[in-house]
Amino acid sequence: MTDVTYYTQEGLDKLREELHSLKTEGRSQISKAIAEARDKGDLSENAEYDAAKEAQGHHESKISKLTNVLANARLIDESKLDITKVLALSIVKIKNIQNGTTMTYQLVSETEADLKSGKISVKSPIAQGLLGKSVGDKAEIAVPAGKIEFEIVEISR
C-alpha cells in the first residue's frame, strides 16, 4: 500500500501539470518516434523501433507512478496548522550550536524538496530531528559528518 503524502497547493499544481504534460506532449512525441521508426522498414531488425517502444514503456510507467502519487496526495490546509511545533510545511529557522550559523528550511514532501530554494524533505535526517520540537528546543541530529546540535530559533508558515 502506498503512503499518503501531504503537499502544498504549489506542489500539487506542479504534479498535475507534469502529469498533463506527460499524457499530452509526451505521448505525442513517443507516438511520432514509433511511427518514424516503423517507416524505416522491417520491424524485426529495427533497433530504432525497439528503442522507441522501450521509451514508450518507460514513459507509461512514469505516468502510472505519477497518477498513483496524485491519488494518494493530500492538500495541507496551512491555516489550521499549529505554529508552536515543527510540522510538515513549517518554515524553521535553526542555529548550529557548534559554529553559530543559522539556516532556514521549509519542511515539504519528498517530491517538493529542493535544497537550493530552502525546501527539505520531511523524511530527511534534519527534518526528522526537528519534527515536533518548539522554539528554544535543541535537537541533536545525526548527519553523514557526525552529530550536529541545532537550536530552533523560529517557526513560521
Burial code (b: 16+ CB inside 10 Å, e: under 16) for 76-110 equals beeeeeeeebbbbbbbbebbeeeeeeeeebbbbbe
Instruction: With a cut of 50, list the residues of the chain below it in pLDDT.
Output: 1
pLDDT of residue 1: 47
pLDDT of residue 80: 67
Q: What angle do CA 93, 121, 83 make, to 5 degrees?
A: 45
Regarding pTM above 0.75, the answer is no
pLDDT of residue 78: 67
Q: Report the number of secondary-structure helices (H) and strands (E) in the chain.
A: 4, 7
d(CA 136, CA 147) in angstroms, rounded, equals 19
Residue 55 contacts by C-beta under 8 Å, 6 or more apart in sequence? Answer: 30, 33
Angle between helices 47-71 and 27-38 (to 10 degrees): 160
pLDDT of residue 46: 78
CA distances from 26 to 15, 21, 37, 56, 58 (A): 15, 6, 17, 9, 11
Write out pLDDT tens, residues 21-48.
Answer: 999 999 999 999 888 888 877 777 778 8
Residues 62/126, Cβ–Cβ less than 8 Å: no
d(CA 13, CA 73) in angstroms, rounded, equals 11
